[in-house]
Amino acid sequence: MSFLNEGKRGESPELDSFLDEQLQNQEQWRKELNITKDEAEQAYAFFQWCDRLSLIFCNRVLPAGERALEIATLPDGKRYDVVQSSDGNVTVQPWPFLEEKFTVNVEASYLEQLKFDSNDELTQALQTAPIKTLEWTFVRSHFN
């Protein structure tokens, strides 16, 4: 919440109070977990990296023609890109994984309607929507 809303600080006393509370919570959680602020920020950067990569796949925005798409640049300054090869396999450069090859998949619900008037309407649509499994195989490139 801090990441999403800190830029709005000063817009309202309620928001400022909420953001202050979030900072206090973060301090308490770091203390309970016995981690530094830098360690928490590194973990959050990794979380954002994973989130960005999953959005690239789920939104199907991998570029064609074996072109690289930036996932993110982590706090250590290292930039990570994802590339889909002509055989359909995917690689990340530089390769951050222990395994040389692995497959991931998600179940995708296919909705024809873009907007719903209520949560119940969305829930009903999701329960009746066709489901397909999307799958990607990650392979370490010899260029990594």
pLDDT recorded at residue 85? 92
pLDDT in tens, 59-91: 889 998 999 999 999 888 999 999 999 999 999
- Select from 124, 102, 122 the least CA-distant residue to 114: 122
pLDDT in tens, 94-103: 999 999 999 9
- Could you tell me the residue ranges of all domains in the chain? 35-139
| Cα 123–chain centre separation | 23
- For the beta sheet containing 90-93, the strands, ordered from the edge strand earlier in sequence to the opposite edge, are 69-73, 79-84, 90-93, 131-139, 101-109
What six digits make up the tokens of 143?
A: 């260029």
What six digits make up the tokens of 107?
A: 């179940």
Whole-structure pTM value = 0.75
